[in-house]
Amino acid sequence: MKLENPTNSTALDGTEEHTGSVFGKDISPPVFRRCLVVLMLLGLIVRIAYFVEHARSPSFGVPTLDEKYYDTVARMLLAGEDLHELHGFRPLLYPLYLAGCYRLGGSRGIDLALFAQHLLGIGTVVIVALLGARLFRHRLGGVLGGALYLLSPVPLYFEGELLIESSYTFLICLGLLLHLHTAGITGWKSGLGWLLCGALTVFASQARANILVFMAVYPLFAGWRWWRLRNRAALLPLAGLVGGLAMAIPWGVVNMRQSNHFHLIPNAGGVNLYLGNKRTADGMAPEQERRITYGARYQDSVETWAREEYAAAMRAQGRQPDSDPMAISRYWTRRTLDEIRAAPASWLRLMAKKCWLTFWNAEVPNNKSFAFLQEEFVWLRVLPVRWVVLLMLAPAGIWAAARSGNRDALFILLAYAFLYSAANVVFFVCDRYRYPVWPVMAAIGGGGLAAGIEMVRRRNPRGMACLVAGMVLMAALSLHNWFGAKLPSFARDFLFRSMAWYEKGHFQEALSDIDRSLELDPGDATALDHRGNVLAALNRLEEAREAYGAALIRSPDEAGIWNNLGATLAALGRPGEALPAFRKATECEPPSTKAFLGIAFLQIHSGRLDEAVATLDRLDRVERSADAAALATRSVLARLRGDAIRADALEQQARRLDADATAWAIERAGNAGP
């Protein structure tokens, strides 16, 4: 038996020329193509306007948290550095994208990366329209879906962040369009299409592993077709599994750049599972039990904590910790099961809450708060399509697709939306993890809107009543806070903006924001430490010393704060107090590399050159790679000892590594304090 072909024309969108009664009259293929061009132009206008507005904000081009991680890895890739210190927890696709943008854009690499992400957002708008047109066999419904996505502020916000979401979501949507196209063809082209579908799905997983759950669509869709058609050709979608494996194997080799182990895809799934399901979890913010510090190079605090806790547990059992990230993940998966068994009733309530959070209209922040940024950016306020709008249109869209649309396409898109959302629920729910479902919801919502307009035009009271009832139900589910969920305050947002002001040299604005942050969360050690940095930049050194002292009360083992305190005391002309602070910073785990330099500077100033050399030797044992500031300090020592040739050679070597760090070290070694 020949597979049914869901399309009866060769139009770009895959729709039929004759539509069902649910939608009424459709637009022609040429008009549809013109509408796609209009969507692209409007998308470009909106994104250019937002890009200009965003570029004037302090946070533009200043990476924080996960953004800083991806930026760090990209720069390591460009420099050819050893990636093994990353411990293989995250895939490399997005850092590779960033590294390419940095190489092409030079000093404007971040700007180029963000603008390219906005272009991918425009591409996603067009794909959403094509998905809707294929789903409903109705071009106007597709255009309305594209418009819903175009007018959504959440996708626009993520396109402007140095995060994987925009490129990752574009790849997912491109894959979904390929799935819908492949579902409508037969013969050897169908088999090849399914191979490509699986390959593209696994390719997208090299940005984030969550999409791997969609691999279940291949046996599910094959079963769906077998149940209807009962022939061998119905099993062709299983080729998607083969295509996925074929794509994963070479990536396993690529991922060995950051791990000694061959893994089809690295991930931190186990620890995220634990943080999302432990007895104190709230379903939103994944927080580890203790504060984490790291060395000079940024590391994700959750991943660092996961490694340290795992290593401590293994040593407590008399076992040698395994460096394999999958071994660490398996450990945390076992811890998760223990947590669930300890309080199954509480866990079931948590799962119910996370299911509801998927529908909640509020955007649960993961890094920055969308609500905070709405206050900062006009475009995020004026774009009207919120999550609740898509939910309210979804029932009508699903009904319309089942009644008059492409049921194979409906099966694939609903399978994606359900599987992906379910995977989020298993871990935790936040705006970043819900965003990849947004395009499919917009595509479905476009058909629901078209069907609703047709019901009103025909004055169909029964249909209108059902439509309104579905919209009211979804609105009630989405708008009311059924579980009393509490969103975090804007304390971290003010902190991040203060850091951005500080990075760009606007210290008075940075002080204003950090003070507002501490008003909301007075006990945040990071905020207190940063306030000290801002006050030091404003030359209010005694106040800075007090801020560092307050931070150390809350986080007494953080090397960076001890180093900052030592630097401030040295600048105040109190080297006797600065030296113990620097030494404490070198004894923390991990130690502060700058603290070794601070000690060396004090020793140089007091004429103890041999002790300064010994201090730098200790730094070399801690910092395995060449450090520009340390080399520059050795050049100062060589010059003081009359060895000008060695001093010049060391200084030139340091400047090749980092000219700014070299200038900083030479200045500090020759002045009164670091």
Residues 499-551 have pLDDT tens digits of: 999 999 999 999 999 999 999 999 899 999 999 999 999 999 999 999 999 99
* Rounded distance between C-alpha atoms, residue 176 and residue 180, angstroms: 6
Residue 400: name the closest of 2, 26, 8 by CA: 26
Question: HSE (CB half, 13 Å, CA atoms) of 483?
Answer: 21
- Does 228 have pLDDT greater than 70? yes
- Does 181 have pLDDT greater than 90? yes
pLDDT at 9: 41
Work out how many domains the chain is built from and give that number.
Answer: 4
Q: Do both 541 and 584 map to the same domain?
A: no
Q: For residue 140, what pLDDT band results from cuts at 50, 70 and 90?
A: very high
Q: Do both 367 and 283 map to the same domain?
A: no
pLDDT at 260: 66
Q: Is 162 helix (H, G, I), strand (E, B) or coil?
A: coil
* Rounded distance between C-alpha atoms, residue 538 and residue 532, angstroms: 10
Average pLDDT, stretch 580-599?
88
Q: For residue 266, what pLDDT band results from cuts at 50, 70 and 90?
A: low
**Cβ atoms of 620 and 593 closer than 8 Å:** no
Q: Do both 390 and 350 map to the same domain?
A: no
3-state SS, one letter per residue, for 331-394: HHHHHHHHHHHHCHHHHHHHHHHHHHHHHCCCCCCCCCCHHHHHHHCHHHHHCCCCHHHHHHHH
Q: Is 653 part of any domain?
A: yes
Task: Give the list of residues 6+ apart from residue 360 with CB closer than 8 angstroms, or none.
Answer: 387, 478, 481, 485
Q: Is 368 part of any domain?
A: yes
Show which of 428, 446, 479 is a domain's final residue: 479
The letter for the amino acid at 301 is S
* Rounded distance between C-alpha atoms, residue 246 and residue 337, angstroms: 32
Mean pLDDT, all residues of the chain: 88
Q: Is 110 part of any domain?
A: yes
Q: Is 609 part of any domain?
A: yes
Residue 483: name the closest of 421, 429, 559 by CA: 429
As to burial, measured by CB atoms within 10 angstroms (0-12 exposed, 13-18 middle, 19+ buried), residue 563 is buried
Of 187-201, 296-310, 465-479, minimum mean pLDDT range:
296-310
Maximum CA extent, the chain: 96
Q: Do both 181 and 85 map to the same domain?
A: yes
Q: Do both 508 and 583 map to the same domain?
A: no
State the angle between helix axes of 609-622 and 593-605 in degrees (0 to 180), rounded to the nearest 10.
Answer: 170
Q: For residue 25, what pLDDT band results from cuts at 50, 70 and 90?
A: confident
Show which of 439, 459, 479 is a domain's final residue: 479
Question: HSE (CB half, 13 Å, CA atoms) of 229?
Answer: 18
Q: Is 181 helix (H, G, I), strand (E, B) or coil?
A: helix
* Rounded distance between C-alpha atoms, residue 425 and residue 625, angstroms: 42
Rg (CA), the chain: 28
pLDDT at 368: 87
Q: Do both 87 and 178 map to the same domain?
A: yes
pLDDT at 7: 39
Q: Is 205 part of any domain?
A: no
The letter for the amino acid at 282 is D
Alpha helices in 230-290 (DSSP H): 239-255, 269-277
Q: Do both 127 and 110 map to the same domain?
A: yes
230: left (phi over 0), alpha (psi -120 to 50) or beta: left
Q: Do both 526 and 424 map to the same domain?
A: no
Of 83-87, 368-372, 416-420, 462-466, minimum mean pLDDT range:
83-87
Q: For residue 73, what pLDDT band results from cuts at 50, 70 and 90?
A: confident
Q: Do both 52 and 174 map to the same domain?
A: yes
558: left (phi over 0), alpha (psi -120 to 50) or beta: beta
* Rounded distance between C-alpha atoms, residue 60 and residue 173, angstroms: 27
- Does 669 have pLDDT greater than 90? no
More confident residue, 153 or 297: 153
Q: Is 201 part of any domain?
A: no
Q: Do both 162 and 62 map to the same domain?
A: yes
Show which of 479, 502, 537 is a domain's final residue: 479
Q: Is 245 part of any domain?
A: no
pLDDT at 533: 95
pLDDT at 11: 56
Contacts 24+ apart (CB under 8 A), 77-80: 78/102, 78/103
Q: Do both 37 and 176 map to the same domain?
A: yes
Question: Residue 288 belongs to what domain range?
Answer: 269-356
Residue 270: name the closest of 306, 238, 237 by CA: 306
Model pTM greater than 0.75?
yes
Average pLDDT, stretch 98-102?
93
Residue 534: CATH number of its domain: 1.25.40.10
Give the model confidence (pLDDT) of 596-610 as tens digits: 999 999 999 888 898
Using a pLDDT cut of 90, give the percent of the chain over it. 54
Q: What CA–CA distances, in Å, run from 175 to 142, 203, 327, 388?
A: 17, 10, 31, 26
Q: Is 174 part of any domain?
A: yes
As to burial, measured by CB atoms within 10 angstroms (0-12 exposed, 13-18 middle, 19+ buried), residue 609 is middle
Handedness of CA 84, 86, 91, 97 (dihedral sign): negative
Give the model confidence (pLDDT) of 445-485 as tens digits: 999 999 999 888 888 888 888 889 999 999 999 999 999 99
- Does 183 have pLDDT greater than 70? yes
* Rounded distance between C-alpha atoms, residue 174 and residue 443, angstroms: 13
Q: Do both 371 and 351 map to the same domain?
A: no
